[in-house]
Structure 1
Amino acid sequence: MSANLSKWAPWNWLRREQEARPLPVRRGGKEVTPLWRVHDEIDRVFDDFFRGFGLPSLWSMEDWPRLESPAILRPQIDISESKSGYEITVEVPGVEQNDLELSVHDGVLTIRGEKRQDKREESDRYHRIERSYGAFQRELNLPSDADADRIEASFRNGVVRIKVPRRADAQSSGRRIPITSA
């Protein structure tokens, strides 16, 4: 008899995103270096190896404090849960509302956007460029009780709030079965 341990593990909102490649982002007009791509590919090989055994990644930079490449534009997210549903908060400073797109397909919520670079004058002399520009994408796997048809989103001060209600019919994942005398 094998035990089903999946019900004890927390929902992996980022499963699809962890399996995808990050989008390269321009910093000051330069592309991501080939050395970073090799580093990223080696990390992916180790991640795939450990994931094949059902283990968490030992090499994933996701778990390391702020070691991710500054050339990867990746908005930070918070996910909270209540009895009525889930709330996802996405920080997108410097991104305009009309440069954001939210969509849901096959149980995956996709958050896309682009942080556009300010127009530069040829005569401007920059001493330092630290801000990143370019496209980004986050993909979140919705739990089975999420009601994708009623998702709502709002934008204010560079923060997107996404409310994902629970389906009414999915509130209970189990029931008590009465035993009768035969």
Structure 2
Amino acid sequence: MARDNGNAPMLPARRSLFGDMEPITRLRDEVDRLFEDFPVFRFGRSMQMPVPALEMTEAEGAYKVTAELPGIKPEDVEVTVEEGMLCISGEKKEEREEKERGFMLSERSYGAFERRIDLPTGADPSKIKAQFKDGVLKISLPKNEQAQQQKQRIAIEADGR
């Protein structure tokens, strides 16, 4: 064994008091990585629901917000306006049971989400409407009269060559 300037003996690299553990450590790392790649095997870990995708566009008299909420029922979604923000929140609740060849599989999954966006300048919060169909939430944010009248077209001058 190597000695460090006559002090205590140094153990060779890659060895521990229990022998060469590197192959076992690598195997454990690979197994852990395998289980991390498959959400089904994430026992005891909280599985958060992904944040829904939002798209916001501007039309002549209103702003439009679309949120994709697949697998969520309309009664599990809430749209609110608070302190100048539009809030879309909800919860996905899913239960499934399968019986096949003497085996039974029962799964339950729950996940809450919330998205908050600033109300666009000129949106009239008192006239907001929401529709939900086929897992897609569509929200119309009508512009107030003042915002609709503030639009002004600016003339573009061409190069005078």
Indicate the TM-score class for this superposition, using the shorter chain for normalisation: 0.5 to 0.7
The TM-score normalised by the length of structure 1 is: 0.51
The residue aligned with 2:45 is 31
Q: How many equivalent pairs are there? A: 109
| Contact 1:73-1:133 within 8 A present in 2 as well | no
1:98 to 71, 75, 97: 75
The TM-score normalised by the length of structure 2 is: 0.57
Q: Identify unmatched segments of 5+ residues in structure 1.
A: 1-26, 33-69, 176-182
Relative to structure 1, the CA distance from residue 155 to residue 124 in structure 2 (aligned partners, 3 Å threshold; closer, same or farther) is: same
C-alpha distance in 2, partners of 1:140/1:124? 43
Equivalent runs, 1:1-40 vs 2, <5 Å: 30-32=44-46
Q: Identify unmatched segments of 5+ residues in structure 2.
A: 1-38, 153-161
Equivalent runs, 1:21-100 vs 2, <5 Å: 30-32=44-46, 71-100=48-77
Q: CA deviation at 1:170?
A: 2.2
Amino acid at match of 1:82: A
**Is the partner of 2:75 in helix, strand or coil?**
helix
Higher relative contact order (CA 8 A, sep 6+): 1
**Is the partner of 2:94 in helix, strand or coil?**
coil
**Is the partner of 2:126 in helix, strand or coil?**
helix
Greater strand fraction, Structure 1 or Structure 2: 2
| Contact 2:84-2:119 within 8 A present in 1 as well | yes
Amino acid at match of 1:124: M
C-alpha distance in 1, partners of 2:131/2:151? 33
Q: CA deviation digits over 1:93-150, x for unaligned, max 9?
A: 0000110111001110100111112144795348xx9xx7410000010112000100
C-alpha distance in 2, partners of 1:91/1:174? 31
Amino acid at match of 2:126: D
Q: Which structure has the larger Rg?
A: 2
| Contact 1:100-1:113 within 8 A present in 2 as well | yes
Instruction: Give the alignment's Cα RMSD to 1 decimal.
Output: 3.0
Q: CA deviation at 1:174?
A: 8.0
Relative to structure 1, the CA distance from residue 81 to residue 174 in structure 2 (aligned partners, 3 Å threshold; closer, same or farther) is: closer
The residue aligned with 1:108 is 85
C-alpha distance in 2, partners of 1:174/1:160? 28
Task: Calculate percent identity across the aligned residue pairs.
Answer: 33
The residue aligned with 2:104 is 124
**Is the partner of 1:146 in helix, strand or coil?**
coil
